[in-house]
Copies of this chain bind each other. A is one copy, B any other.
């Protein structure tokens, strides 16, 4: 990696930056492929975002940005154009400045989840799915599951405002999908995903009653703090097939690289090159 004034700058904007993993995944891939681009963390607290993000987007060597908490939602209103996934999820993870100067937003967190599920042989079209947690990542996963053709979608969150808002957006865009809210009972679902932060801290309660999980249910996780969270361990003990949080992470990155115009990548190569352990 030889950063110069010609290098395409991809700020990774969020706060706190200590847990960022994207630089250690993207940059080794750029190096391996001779792509003159670099992902650089820029720590911007919530209250600074309204002024700081437009400043960053205006750097003359700005190519595009990765957006993470706490700016995923607020950035949407700063952009000229956003994808359907952003509209439904209400959050944006990636911004690209087009040659004409327009700022375009998209997000592929949910796409990464769905791609990983499909690659593990789990049918999504027509399936019944439960998404626990309707914050940024849960909304993204719900939007992508809807886009991939699930038949029924149940949403659950202790924050009923966020839950109901997502349900309304889904009903607007996907009126043929049966969207329900308010229960985290996993019984009868083909796909169940924990999109809450539960599992980040030792001693967290499980996100739902695992004794109600059937062995046929496919169980996904977004928490990456440890590879096998207590929730995933419990699901496996019930006989369920599972997807770890890191799988979703690596599955989504080829979509981001494509969005930024850097060509085709595979989750396997990205994971082999990454300079980060889990």
Contact = CB atoms under 8 A, between A and B. Distances in A.
Contacts of A56: 55
Given A55-B52, A61-B17, A42 B3 contact: no
Interface in A30-58: 38-45, 48, 51-52, 55-56, 58
B9 A42 contact: yes
Interface in A1-50: 1-7, 9, 12, 15-20, 23-24, 27, 38-45, 48
Given A51-B55, A52-B55, A3 B39 contact: yes
Contacts of A9: 40-42
Interface residues of A, number: 37
B41 A17 contact: no
Contacts of A18: 5-6
A212 interface: no
B20 A60 contact: no
A43 B11 CA distance: 13
Contact of A17 (B27, B44, B60): B60
B24 A4 contact: yes
Copies in the complex: 2
Contacts of A40: 3, 9, 38, 40
Interface of A is mostly: loop
A278 interface: no
Contact of A3 (B41, B48, B62): B41
Nearest to A45: B60
A52 B61 contact: no
Nearest to A15: B60
A275 interface: yes
B60 A7 contact: no
6 nearest A-B pairs in the assembled complex, by CB-CB distance? A43-B60, A5-B17, A5-B20, A43-B61, A55-B55, A3-B23
17 contacts: A3-B27, A4-B20, A5-B16, A5-B17, A5-B18, A5-B23, A5-B43, A6-B17, A6-B18, A7-B41, A17-B61, A38-B40, A43-B59, A43-B62, A44-B58, A51-B55, A52-B58
